[in-house]
Amino acid sequence: MTTPAFDEMTADGLVRGPYAEIARWLAATPRAALEQRRHEAELLFKRIGITFAVYGEGGDPERLIPFDIIPRILARAEWDALSRGLVQRVRALNMFLADVYGKQEILRAGHIPAALVRDNEAFRPEMAGFTPPGGVYTHIAGIDVVRTSPHEFWVLEDNCRTPSGVSYMLEGREAMLRLFPGICAAHRIAPVGHYPEELLETLKSVAPPGCRGAPRVAILTPGSYNSAYYEHCFLADEMGVEVVEGPDLFVEDDVVFMRTTAGPQRVDVIYRRIDDDYLDPRVFRPESVLGVPGLMAAYKAGNVALANAPGAGIADDKAVYPYVPEMIRFYLAEEPLLQNVPTYLCEREDHRAYVLDNLHELVVKLTHGSGGYGMLVGPHSTTDQRMEFAARIKARPGEYIAQPTLALSTVPTLVEKGIAPRHVDLRPFILSGKEVRVVPGGLTRVALREGSLVVNSSQGGGTKDTWVLEDDPADIARPLQGQSQSQSQSQSQSGSQSQSQSQSQGGSGC
Protein backbone atom coordinates (compact mmCIF):
# COMPACT_ATOMS: atom_id res chain seq x y z
CA MET A 1 0.00 0.00 0.00
CA THR A 2 1.05 3.60 -0.44
CA THR A 3 0.60 6.10 2.32
CA PRO A 4 -0.97 9.36 1.19
CA ALA A 5 1.71 11.88 1.97
CA PHE A 6 2.74 15.48 1.59
CA ASP A 7 4.92 15.86 -1.48
CA GLU A 8 7.54 18.55 -0.99
CA MET A 9 7.62 19.53 -4.66
CA THR A 10 4.05 19.39 -5.75
CA ALA A 11 0.82 19.80 -3.91
CA ASP A 12 -2.44 19.28 -5.77
CA GLY A 13 -0.69 19.58 -9.08
CA LEU A 14 1.00 22.84 -8.13
CA VAL A 15 4.72 23.34 -7.65
CA ARG A 16 5.80 24.69 -4.28
CA GLY A 17 7.95 27.82 -4.29
CA PRO A 18 11.38 26.39 -3.45
CA TYR A 19 11.04 23.76 -6.17
CA ALA A 20 10.01 26.06 -9.01
CA GLU A 21 13.36 26.00 -10.76
CA ILE A 22 13.94 22.28 -10.27
CA ALA A 23 10.47 21.42 -11.53
CA ARG A 24 11.13 23.38 -14.70
CA TRP A 25 14.48 21.69 -15.12
CA LEU A 26 13.04 18.23 -14.59
CA ALA A 27 10.32 18.86 -17.12
CA ALA A 28 12.78 20.22 -19.67
CA THR A 29 15.43 17.51 -19.27
CA PRO A 30 14.90 14.27 -21.17
CA ARG A 31 14.76 11.23 -18.96
CA ALA A 32 17.72 9.64 -20.76
CA ALA A 33 19.86 12.65 -19.83
CA LEU A 34 18.88 12.26 -16.18
CA GLU A 35 19.67 8.56 -16.30
CA GLN A 36 23.02 9.38 -17.82
CA ARG A 37 23.78 11.82 -15.01
CA ARG A 38 22.74 9.34 -12.41
CA HIS A 39 25.12 6.85 -13.95
CA GLU A 40 27.90 9.43 -13.83
CA ALA A 41 27.13 10.17 -10.19
CA GLU A 42 27.45 6.48 -9.45
CA LEU A 43 30.79 6.26 -11.21
CA LEU A 44 31.97 9.32 -9.34
CA PHE A 45 31.07 7.84 -5.97
CA LYS A 46 32.62 4.53 -6.91
CA ARG A 47 35.82 6.18 -8.04
CA ILE A 48 36.17 8.23 -4.89
CA GLY A 49 35.38 5.05 -2.96
CA ILE A 50 32.51 6.43 -0.89
CA THR A 51 31.27 3.20 0.51
CA PHE A 52 29.21 1.99 3.37
CA ALA A 53 30.55 -1.26 4.70
CA VAL A 54 28.06 -3.96 5.65
CA TYR A 55 29.87 -7.07 6.80
CA GLY A 56 28.40 -10.43 7.56
CA GLU A 57 25.41 -10.27 5.25
CA GLY A 58 26.94 -11.76 2.15
CA GLY A 59 27.31 -9.88 -1.11
CA ASP A 60 29.75 -7.05 -1.61
CA PRO A 61 30.73 -5.85 1.84
CA GLU A 62 31.63 -2.42 0.54
CA ARG A 63 28.43 -1.08 -0.83
CA LEU A 64 27.70 2.12 -2.57
CA ILE A 65 24.83 4.05 -1.06
CA PRO A 66 22.55 4.96 -3.96
CA PHE A 67 22.62 8.68 -4.58
CA ASP A 68 19.58 10.34 -6.07
CA ILE A 69 20.31 13.30 -8.30
CA ILE A 70 17.10 15.19 -7.58
CA PRO A 71 17.81 17.46 -4.61
CA ARG A 72 15.59 17.96 -1.63
CA ILE A 73 14.96 21.67 -1.16
CA LEU A 74 14.08 23.75 1.87
CA ALA A 75 13.36 27.46 1.87
CA ARG A 76 15.49 29.55 4.19
CA ALA A 77 12.51 30.32 6.43
CA GLU A 78 11.68 26.61 6.71
CA TRP A 79 15.25 25.84 7.62
CA ASP A 80 15.55 28.68 10.11
CA ALA A 81 12.48 27.51 11.98
CA LEU A 82 13.76 23.95 11.97
CA SER A 83 17.27 24.87 13.03
CA ARG A 84 16.02 26.97 15.96
CA GLY A 85 14.17 23.89 17.15
CA LEU A 86 17.24 21.70 16.69
CA VAL A 87 19.52 24.04 18.63
CA GLN A 88 16.97 24.27 21.41
CA ARG A 89 16.70 20.51 21.55
CA VAL A 90 20.43 19.88 21.61
CA ARG A 91 20.94 22.49 24.33
CA ALA A 92 18.36 20.69 26.45
CA LEU A 93 19.92 17.29 25.72
CA ASN A 94 23.32 18.55 26.84
CA MET A 95 21.80 20.01 30.01
CA PHE A 96 20.01 16.75 30.64
CA LEU A 97 23.30 14.85 30.37
CA ALA A 98 25.05 17.26 32.73
CA ASP A 99 22.17 16.84 35.13
CA VAL A 100 21.85 13.04 35.13
CA TYR A 101 25.58 12.68 35.70
CA GLY A 102 25.41 15.47 38.27
CA LYS A 103 22.65 16.44 40.67
CA GLN A 104 19.87 14.53 38.88
CA GLU A 105 17.41 17.32 39.52
CA ILE A 106 15.08 16.31 36.73
CA LEU A 107 14.78 12.84 38.24
CA ARG A 108 14.21 14.19 41.72
CA ALA A 109 11.59 16.56 40.41
CA GLY A 110 9.81 13.51 39.02
CA HIS A 111 9.74 14.61 35.40
CA ILE A 112 11.45 11.44 34.23
CA PRO A 113 11.19 8.09 36.04
CA ALA A 114 14.49 7.68 37.87
CA ALA A 115 14.67 3.96 37.14
CA LEU A 116 14.38 4.61 33.42
CA VAL A 117 17.68 6.46 33.60
CA ARG A 118 19.59 4.73 36.36
CA ASP A 119 18.81 1.18 35.28
CA ASN A 120 19.45 1.96 31.62
CA GLU A 121 22.32 0.20 29.87
CA ALA A 122 23.25 3.48 28.20
CA PHE A 123 23.69 5.15 31.58
CA ARG A 124 27.35 5.12 32.60
CA PRO A 125 27.81 5.26 36.37
CA GLU A 126 31.51 5.83 35.63
CA MET A 127 30.59 9.33 34.47
CA ALA A 128 28.68 10.29 37.62
CA GLY A 129 30.14 13.34 39.30
CA PHE A 130 32.53 14.11 36.44
CA THR A 131 32.16 17.19 34.26
CA PRO A 132 33.69 16.89 30.78
CA PRO A 133 35.84 19.78 29.51
CA GLY A 134 33.62 22.72 28.63
CA GLY A 135 30.63 20.97 30.19
CA VAL A 136 29.65 19.55 26.80
CA TYR A 137 28.50 15.94 26.42
CA THR A 138 27.18 15.59 22.92
CA HIS A 139 29.48 17.66 20.74
CA ILE A 140 28.14 16.19 17.54
CA ALA A 141 24.43 15.41 17.53
CA GLY A 142 22.43 14.09 14.60
CA ILE A 143 18.72 14.69 15.03
CA ASP A 144 16.48 12.68 12.71
CA VAL A 145 13.54 14.70 11.52
CA VAL A 146 10.58 13.83 9.33
CA ARG A 147 8.01 16.09 7.77
CA THR A 148 4.30 15.55 7.30
CA SER A 149 3.06 18.89 5.99
CA PRO A 150 4.44 22.30 5.01
CA HIS A 151 4.76 23.34 8.62
CA GLU A 152 5.01 20.13 10.55
CA PHE A 153 8.39 18.63 11.36
CA TRP A 154 8.67 15.79 13.85
CA VAL A 155 11.76 14.56 15.62
CA LEU A 156 11.98 10.84 15.03
CA GLU A 157 15.05 10.21 17.12
CA ASP A 158 18.08 11.86 18.67
CA ASN A 159 21.57 10.54 17.97
CA CYS A 160 23.88 11.75 20.70
CA ARG A 161 26.59 9.05 20.69
CA THR A 162 28.38 8.83 17.38
CA PRO A 163 26.00 9.91 14.62
CA SER A 164 27.29 9.24 11.13
CA GLY A 165 26.39 10.36 7.63
CA VAL A 166 27.87 13.81 7.47
CA SER A 167 30.35 12.73 4.79
CA TYR A 168 27.45 11.83 2.52
CA MET A 169 26.05 15.29 3.05
CA LEU A 170 29.36 16.82 1.93
CA GLU A 171 30.14 14.41 -0.92
CA GLY A 172 26.57 14.59 -2.18
CA ARG A 173 26.92 18.34 -2.54
CA GLU A 174 30.25 17.95 -4.34
CA ALA A 175 28.68 15.50 -6.76
CA MET A 176 25.82 17.86 -7.51
CA LEU A 177 28.15 20.81 -8.11
CA ARG A 178 30.15 18.71 -10.50
CA LEU A 179 27.30 17.08 -12.37
CA PHE A 180 24.86 19.97 -12.45
CA PRO A 181 26.76 23.24 -12.29
CA GLY A 182 24.01 24.98 -14.24
CA ILE A 183 21.05 24.06 -12.10
CA CYS A 184 23.12 24.66 -8.94
CA ALA A 185 24.07 28.14 -10.15
CA ALA A 186 20.42 28.90 -10.85
CA HIS A 187 19.84 28.64 -7.10
CA ARG A 188 21.50 30.36 -4.19
CA ILE A 189 22.28 27.24 -2.19
CA ALA A 190 23.55 27.78 1.34
CA PRO A 191 27.00 26.17 1.53
CA VAL A 192 27.81 23.18 3.74
CA GLY A 193 31.46 22.73 2.78
CA HIS A 194 32.73 24.45 5.90
CA TYR A 195 31.37 21.73 8.16
CA PRO A 196 34.80 20.13 8.79
CA GLU A 197 36.18 23.52 9.84
CA GLU A 198 33.27 24.05 12.20
CA LEU A 199 33.81 20.56 13.58
CA LEU A 200 37.50 21.23 14.16
CA GLU A 201 36.73 24.54 15.89
CA THR A 202 34.16 22.79 18.06
CA LEU A 203 36.62 20.07 19.02
CA LYS A 204 39.42 22.54 19.74
CA SER A 205 37.09 24.66 21.84
CA VAL A 206 36.63 21.82 24.32
CA ALA A 207 40.34 21.11 24.83
CA PRO A 208 40.90 19.92 28.40
CA PRO A 209 42.53 21.99 31.15
CA GLY A 210 45.71 19.91 30.83
CA CYS A 211 46.24 20.94 27.22
CA ARG A 212 49.30 23.08 26.53
CA GLY A 213 49.64 25.00 23.30
CA ALA A 214 47.46 24.36 20.27
CA PRO A 215 45.17 21.40 20.94
CA ARG A 216 46.07 18.28 18.99
CA VAL A 217 42.95 16.54 17.72
CA ALA A 218 42.58 12.94 16.50
CA ILE A 219 39.69 10.79 15.32
CA LEU A 220 39.49 7.39 16.97
CA THR A 221 38.08 4.73 14.64
CA PRO A 222 37.37 1.06 15.25
CA GLY A 223 39.16 0.44 11.93
CA SER A 224 38.56 -0.22 8.30
CA TYR A 225 35.86 -2.82 8.87
CA ASN A 226 33.57 -0.31 10.50
CA SER A 227 30.61 0.72 8.38
CA ALA A 228 31.49 4.41 8.69
CA TYR A 229 35.25 4.05 8.19
CA TYR A 230 35.14 6.08 5.02
CA GLU A 231 33.61 8.92 6.96
CA HIS A 232 36.21 8.78 9.71
CA CYS A 233 38.99 9.13 7.17
CA PHE A 234 37.14 11.75 5.19
CA LEU A 235 36.64 13.98 8.22
CA ALA A 236 40.22 13.50 9.42
CA ASP A 237 41.44 14.43 5.97
CA GLU A 238 39.26 17.52 5.75
CA MET A 239 40.32 18.66 9.22
CA GLY A 240 43.98 17.79 8.76
CA VAL A 241 44.11 15.54 11.82
CA GLU A 242 45.17 11.93 12.31
CA VAL A 243 42.69 9.07 12.22
CA VAL A 244 43.90 6.64 14.86
CA GLU A 245 43.01 3.14 15.97
CA GLY A 246 43.24 2.00 19.57
CA PRO A 247 46.69 0.43 19.23
CA ASP A 248 48.04 3.73 17.85
CA LEU A 249 47.42 5.33 21.22
CA PHE A 250 48.82 4.67 24.66
CA VAL A 251 48.50 6.33 28.05
CA GLU A 252 51.40 7.21 30.29
CA ASP A 253 50.99 9.10 33.56
CA ASP A 254 47.37 9.80 32.62
CA VAL A 255 48.41 11.50 29.39
CA VAL A 256 47.39 10.14 25.99
CA PHE A 257 50.04 9.76 23.29
CA MET A 258 49.99 8.49 19.74
CA ARG A 259 52.79 6.38 18.28
CA THR A 260 54.42 8.22 15.42
CA THR A 261 57.50 7.80 13.28
CA ALA A 262 59.05 10.62 15.31
CA GLY A 263 58.21 9.05 18.66
CA PRO A 264 55.23 9.63 20.99
CA GLN A 265 53.05 12.71 20.47
CA ARG A 266 50.52 14.03 22.96
CA VAL A 267 46.82 14.00 21.99
CA ASP A 268 44.43 16.51 23.57
CA VAL A 269 41.03 15.98 21.96
CA ILE A 270 39.70 12.68 20.67
CA TYR A 271 36.68 12.59 18.40
CA ARG A 272 35.88 9.00 19.12
CA ARG A 273 33.80 6.98 16.72
CA ILE A 274 33.85 3.82 18.79
CA ASP A 275 31.18 2.91 21.30
CA ASP A 276 31.49 3.47 25.04
CA ASP A 277 31.88 -0.24 25.70
CA TYR A 278 35.11 -0.40 23.73
CA LEU A 279 36.78 2.84 24.81
CA ASP A 280 38.91 1.54 27.64
CA PRO A 281 39.26 -2.13 28.58
CA ARG A 282 40.22 -1.13 32.12
CA VAL A 283 36.85 0.51 32.69
CA PHE A 284 34.46 -1.04 30.22
CA ARG A 285 34.74 -4.36 28.39
CA PRO A 286 38.03 -5.92 29.48
CA GLU A 287 38.34 -8.11 26.37
CA SER A 288 38.09 -5.24 23.92
CA VAL A 289 41.13 -4.42 21.83
CA LEU A 290 39.60 -1.48 19.98
CA GLY A 291 40.14 1.05 22.71
CA VAL A 292 42.98 2.39 24.82
CA PRO A 293 43.84 1.08 28.29
CA GLY A 294 43.92 4.00 30.72
CA LEU A 295 41.97 6.39 28.48
CA MET A 296 39.25 7.02 31.05
CA ALA A 297 41.79 7.80 33.77
CA ALA A 298 43.44 10.34 31.45
CA TYR A 299 39.99 11.78 30.72
CA LYS A 300 39.13 12.11 34.38
CA ALA A 301 42.53 13.63 35.11
CA GLY A 302 41.64 16.44 32.72
CA ASN A 303 44.32 15.55 30.20
CA VAL A 304 42.16 14.65 27.25
CA ALA A 305 38.70 15.55 25.94
CA LEU A 306 36.42 12.90 24.46
CA ALA A 307 33.77 13.79 21.93
CA ASN A 308 31.14 12.67 22.39
CA ALA A 309 31.41 12.11 26.11
CA PRO A 310 31.01 8.52 27.31
CA GLY A 311 27.48 7.98 28.56
CA ALA A 312 25.95 10.51 26.15
CA GLY A 313 23.86 7.64 24.80
CA ILE A 314 21.45 7.93 27.70
CA ALA A 315 20.04 11.04 26.03
CA ASP A 316 19.25 9.26 22.75
CA ASP A 317 17.77 6.13 24.24
CA LYS A 318 14.40 5.55 22.61
CA ALA A 319 12.74 5.11 26.00
CA VAL A 320 14.10 8.46 27.16
CA TYR A 321 13.08 10.17 23.91
CA PRO A 322 9.44 10.73 24.92
CA TYR A 323 10.69 12.94 27.74
CA VAL A 324 12.76 15.35 25.65
CA PRO A 325 9.96 17.97 25.43
CA GLU A 326 9.81 17.76 29.21
CA MET A 327 13.57 18.42 29.38
CA ILE A 328 13.18 21.50 27.22
CA ARG A 329 10.54 22.90 29.55
CA PHE A 330 12.50 21.94 32.66
CA TYR A 331 15.95 23.22 31.74
CA LEU A 332 15.20 26.07 29.37
CA ALA A 333 11.76 27.12 30.54
CA GLU A 334 10.73 27.21 26.88
CA GLU A 335 8.10 25.43 24.88
CA PRO A 336 9.58 22.86 22.47
CA LEU A 337 9.79 24.26 18.95
CA LEU A 338 9.92 20.79 17.40
CA GLN A 339 7.40 18.11 18.15
CA ASN A 340 8.06 14.57 19.26
CA VAL A 341 6.26 11.72 17.57
CA PRO A 342 3.75 10.32 20.09
CA THR A 343 5.48 7.29 21.59
CA TYR A 344 4.10 4.32 23.43
CA LEU A 345 6.38 2.65 25.94
CA CYS A 346 5.61 -1.05 25.88
CA GLU A 347 6.89 -1.26 29.43
CA ARG A 348 3.85 0.71 30.61
CA GLU A 349 0.87 -1.58 30.89
CA ASP A 350 -1.69 0.82 29.41
CA HIS A 351 0.61 1.69 26.50
CA ARG A 352 1.41 -1.96 25.90
CA ALA A 353 -2.25 -2.91 25.70
CA TYR A 354 -2.82 -0.20 23.13
CA VAL A 355 0.23 -1.25 21.14
CA LEU A 356 -0.76 -4.91 21.05
CA ASP A 357 -4.25 -3.98 19.88
CA ASN A 358 -3.01 -1.65 17.16
CA LEU A 359 0.13 -3.30 15.78
CA HIS A 360 -1.22 -3.03 12.23
CA GLU A 361 -0.95 0.75 12.28
CA LEU A 362 2.11 1.30 14.48
CA VAL A 363 5.85 1.23 13.96
CA VAL A 364 7.52 -0.87 16.63
CA LYS A 365 11.21 -0.28 17.40
CA LEU A 366 13.81 -1.76 19.68
CA THR A 367 14.67 0.69 22.44
CA HIS A 368 18.39 0.22 21.95
CA GLY A 369 18.30 -0.73 18.28
CA SER A 370 19.71 1.24 15.42
CA GLY A 371 20.14 1.00 11.70
CA GLY A 372 16.52 0.01 11.09
CA TYR A 373 17.12 -3.50 12.38
CA GLY A 374 14.46 -5.20 14.51
CA MET A 375 11.66 -2.94 13.33
CA LEU A 376 8.02 -3.69 12.55
CA VAL A 377 6.26 -1.33 10.18
CA GLY A 378 2.66 -2.21 11.01
CA PRO A 379 0.80 -1.20 7.85
CA HIS A 380 3.33 -3.10 5.74
CA SER A 381 3.49 -6.19 7.91
CA THR A 382 2.00 -9.65 7.58
CA THR A 383 -0.15 -11.32 10.22
CA ASP A 384 2.72 -13.66 11.04
CA GLN A 385 5.13 -10.78 11.58
CA ARG A 386 2.64 -9.06 13.87
CA MET A 387 2.15 -12.23 15.89
CA GLU A 388 5.88 -12.66 16.18
CA PHE A 389 6.29 -9.08 17.41
CA ALA A 390 3.40 -9.40 19.84
CA ALA A 391 5.15 -12.38 21.40
CA ARG A 392 8.45 -10.51 21.58
CA ILE A 393 6.83 -7.46 23.14
CA LYS A 394 5.11 -9.57 25.78
CA ALA A 395 8.36 -11.38 26.57
CA ARG A 396 10.48 -8.23 26.90
CA PRO A 397 8.24 -5.19 27.00
CA GLY A 398 11.03 -2.87 28.18
CA GLU A 399 12.88 -3.34 24.94
CA TYR A 400 10.15 -1.98 22.69
CA ILE A 401 8.49 1.30 21.91
CA ALA A 402 5.85 2.02 19.30
CA GLN A 403 4.87 5.07 17.33
CA PRO A 404 2.04 5.83 14.93
CA THR A 405 2.98 5.45 11.27
CA LEU A 406 3.56 8.97 10.06
CA ALA A 407 2.84 9.85 6.47
CA LEU A 408 6.43 10.94 5.81
CA SER A 409 6.77 13.59 3.16
CA THR A 410 7.95 12.57 -0.28
CA VAL A 411 10.35 14.15 -2.76
CA PRO A 412 10.49 13.32 -6.47
CA THR A 413 13.16 10.68 -7.01
CA LEU A 414 14.63 9.09 -10.10
CA VAL A 415 13.70 5.42 -9.94
CA GLU A 416 13.47 2.58 -12.45
CA LYS A 417 10.09 3.68 -13.73
CA GLY A 418 10.99 7.34 -14.01
CA ILE A 419 10.47 10.16 -11.56
CA ALA A 420 8.29 9.17 -8.66
CA PRO A 421 7.67 10.39 -5.10
CA ARG A 422 9.65 8.59 -2.39
CA HIS A 423 9.60 9.07 1.37
CA VAL A 424 12.46 10.99 2.97
CA ASP A 425 13.80 11.97 6.36
CA LEU A 426 16.49 14.45 7.32
CA ARG A 427 19.46 14.24 9.65
CA PRO A 428 20.94 17.65 10.40
CA PHE A 429 24.16 17.77 12.43
CA ILE A 430 24.39 20.08 15.41
CA LEU A 431 27.81 20.93 16.84
CA SER A 432 28.18 21.98 20.47
CA GLY A 433 31.40 23.39 21.84
CA LYS A 434 31.92 26.85 23.26
CA GLU A 435 29.05 27.73 20.93
CA VAL A 436 26.42 25.78 19.02
CA ARG A 437 26.87 25.56 15.25
CA VAL A 438 24.70 24.08 12.53
CA VAL A 439 25.47 24.06 8.83
CA PRO A 440 22.32 24.60 6.78
CA GLY A 441 21.01 21.28 5.55
CA GLY A 442 21.91 17.81 6.57
CA LEU A 443 21.65 14.35 5.19
CA THR A 444 18.41 13.52 3.40
CA ARG A 445 17.81 9.82 3.29
CA VAL A 446 15.30 8.43 0.85
CA ALA A 447 13.46 5.12 0.87
CA LEU A 448 13.96 3.94 -2.69
CA ARG A 449 11.34 1.22 -2.62
CA GLU A 450 7.87 2.35 -3.49
CA GLY A 451 5.83 3.04 -0.38
CA SER A 452 8.66 2.08 1.98
CA LEU A 453 9.13 4.22 5.06
CA VAL A 454 12.52 2.75 6.00
CA VAL A 455 15.29 5.05 4.86
CA ASN A 456 18.31 3.48 6.59
CA SER A 457 21.27 2.84 4.35
CA SER A 458 21.60 -0.63 5.83
CA GLN A 459 18.04 -1.26 4.62
CA GLY A 460 18.54 -0.18 1.04
CA GLY A 461 17.91 3.52 1.46
CA GLY A 462 19.61 6.16 -0.61
CA THR A 463 20.64 9.76 -0.10
CA LYS A 464 19.88 13.10 -1.69
CA ASP A 465 21.59 16.43 -1.55
CA THR A 466 19.71 18.78 0.76
CA TRP A 467 19.50 22.38 -0.39
CA VAL A 468 18.66 25.28 1.83
CA LEU A 469 17.95 28.24 -0.40
CA GLU A 470 19.37 31.59 0.64
CA ASP A 471 16.70 33.38 -1.38
CA ASP A 472 13.40 32.93 0.19
CA PRO A 473 10.79 32.20 -2.39
CA ALA A 474 7.43 32.51 -0.72
CA ASP A 475 6.08 29.10 0.01
CA ILE A 476 3.28 29.48 -2.43
CA ALA A 477 2.41 26.87 -4.96
CA ARG A 478 3.01 27.59 -8.63
CA PRO A 479 1.42 25.76 -11.51
CA LEU A 480 3.01 22.70 -12.93
CA GLN A 481 3.69 23.05 -16.61
CA GLY A 482 0.61 22.49 -18.63
CA GLN A 483 -1.75 23.61 -15.91
CA SER A 484 -4.35 26.15 -16.98
CA GLN A 485 -3.53 29.75 -16.32
CA SER A 486 -6.70 30.50 -14.45
CA GLN A 487 -5.90 27.83 -11.95
CA SER A 488 -2.42 29.12 -11.38
CA GLN A 489 -3.55 32.68 -11.03
CA SER A 490 -5.92 31.74 -8.33
CA GLN A 491 -2.99 30.26 -6.45
CA SER A 492 -0.36 32.91 -6.94
CA GLN A 493 -0.28 36.56 -6.15
CA SER A 494 3.19 38.04 -6.23
CA GLY A 495 5.01 39.51 -9.21
CA SER A 496 7.70 36.88 -9.20
CA GLN A 497 5.00 34.30 -9.40
CA SER A 498 3.61 35.64 -12.63
CA GLN A 499 7.08 35.67 -14.11
CA SER A 500 7.68 32.03 -13.38
CA GLN A 501 4.23 31.38 -14.67
CA SER A 502 4.90 32.90 -18.02
CA GLN A 503 8.11 30.95 -18.34
CA SER A 504 6.39 27.73 -17.53
CA GLN A 505 3.71 28.56 -20.03
CA GLY A 506 6.31 29.09 -22.69
CA GLY A 507 8.35 26.01 -22.21
CA SER A 508 5.88 23.20 -22.27
CA GLY A 509 7.88 20.03 -22.23
CA CYS A 510 5.18 17.70 -21.05
Partner 1 sequence: MLSRTASSLYWLGRYVERAGNNARGLQVALRMASLTGAGQRDTAWHALLVATGCEPGFRDKGAPLTQENVVRYLAADPENPSSIMSCIEAARRNGRAVRTALTVDMWEAVNETWSQARRSTEATFAPDNLPDFLDWMKQRTVLFNGAYADTMLRGEAWRFVRLGTMLERADNTARVLDTHHHALSDVEEGGALAYLHWQAILRSVSALRAYHHIYRARLDPRRIAEMLLLRHELPRSMVACYARIEETLDGLAAAHGGQRGECHRLAGEIHARLKFSRIEDIMGEGLHQFLTRKIDRSIDLGAEIGAFYLHS
Contacts of 396 by beta carbon, 8 Å cutoff, 6+ apart = none
- Are 6 and 410 spatial neighbours (Cβ–Cβ below 8 Å)? yes
The H-or-E segment that residue 134 falls in is none
Pick the piece of the chain touching partner 1 (CB under 8 A) from 46-54, 104-112, 121-129, 472-480. Answer: 46-54
* Minimum distance from residue 189 beta carbon to partner 1 (Å): 24
Interface pattern 255-274 for partner 1 (x via CB under 8 A): ---xxxxx------------
Pick the piece of the chain touching partner 1 (CB under 8 A) from 43-51, 152-160, 271-279, 400-408. Answer: 43-51
Is the CB of 50 or the CB of 364 nearer to partner 1?
50
In angstroms, the CA 55 to CA 458 distance is 11
Query: DSSP alpha helices (H): ranges in 101-165?
Result: 105-108, 114-118
Torsion angle, CA of 14/16/19/21, rounded to 10 degrees?
Answer: 60
* Minimum distance from residue 233 beta carbon to partner 1 (Å): 5
- Binding of partner 1 at residue 247 (CB under 8 A)? yes
Residue type, 504: S
Is the CB of 224 or the CB of 484 nearer to partner 1?
224
In angstroms, the CA 299 to CA 309 distance is 10
Pick the piece of the chain touching partner 1 (CB under 8 A) from 108-116, 195-203, 228-236, 446-454. Answer: 228-236
Three-state secondary structure string covering 454-502: CCCHHHCEEEEEEEEECCCCCCCCEECCCCCHHHHHHHCCCHHHHHHHH
In angstroms, the CA 101 to CA 123 distance is 9
- Binding of partner 1 at residue 242 (CB under 8 A)? yes
* Minimum distance from residue 460 beta carbon to partner 1 (Å): 22
**Of the residues 35, 121, 237, 252, which one makes contact with partner 1 according to CB under 8 A:** 237
In angstroms, the CA 104 to CA 100 distance is 4
* Torsion over CA: 82, 88, 90, 93 (sign): negative
Pick the piece of the chain touching partner 1 (CB under 8 A) from 42-50, 164-172, 349-357, 495-503. Answer: 42-50
* Minimum distance from residue 370 beta carbon to partner 1 (Å): 25
- Binding of partner 1 at residue 233 (CB under 8 A)? yes
Q: What is the DSSP string of 346-409?
A: TTSHHHHHHHHHTGGGEEEEETT--TTTT-EEGGG--HHHHHHHHHHHHH-GGGEEEEE-----
- Binding of partner 1 at residue 194 (CB under 8 A)? no
The H-or-E segment that residue 280 falls in is none
Is the CB of 233 or the CB of 356 nearer to partner 1?
233
- Binding of partner 1 at residue 217 (CB under 8 A)? no
Is the CB of 144 or the CB of 231 nearer to partner 1?
231
- Binding of partner 1 at residue 357 (CB under 8 A)? no
In angstroms, the CA 40 to CA 47 distance is 10
**Of the residues 2, 36, 149, 224, which one makes contact with partner 1 according to CB under 8 A:** 224
In angstroms, the CA 393 to CA 391 distance is 5
- Binding of partner 1 at residue 193 (CB under 8 A)? no
Pick the piece of the chain touching partner 1 (CB under 8 A) from 118-126, 238-246, 283-291, 375-383. Answer: 238-246
- Binding of partner 1 at residue 49 (CB under 8 A)? yes
| Binding residues for partner 1, total number by CB under 8 A | 21
Interface pattern 91-130 for partner 1 (x via CB under 8 A): ----------------------------------------
Distances in whole angstroms, Cα of residue 273 to Cα of each of 23, 235, 288? 39, 11, 15
- Binding of partner 1 at residue 47 (CB under 8 A)? yes
Is the CB of 7 or the CB of 245 nearer to partner 1?
245
Is the CB of 50 or the CB of 156 nearer to partner 1?
50
**Of the residues 243, 269, 355, 436, which one makes contact with partner 1 according to CB under 8 A:** 243
Q: What are phi and psi of 172, to 5 degrees?
A: -60, -40
E strand spans, 193-254: 217-220, 242-244, 249-252
Which residues make up the interface to partner 1 (CB under 8 A)? 46-49, 224, 230, 233-234, 236-237, 242-245, 247-248, 258-262
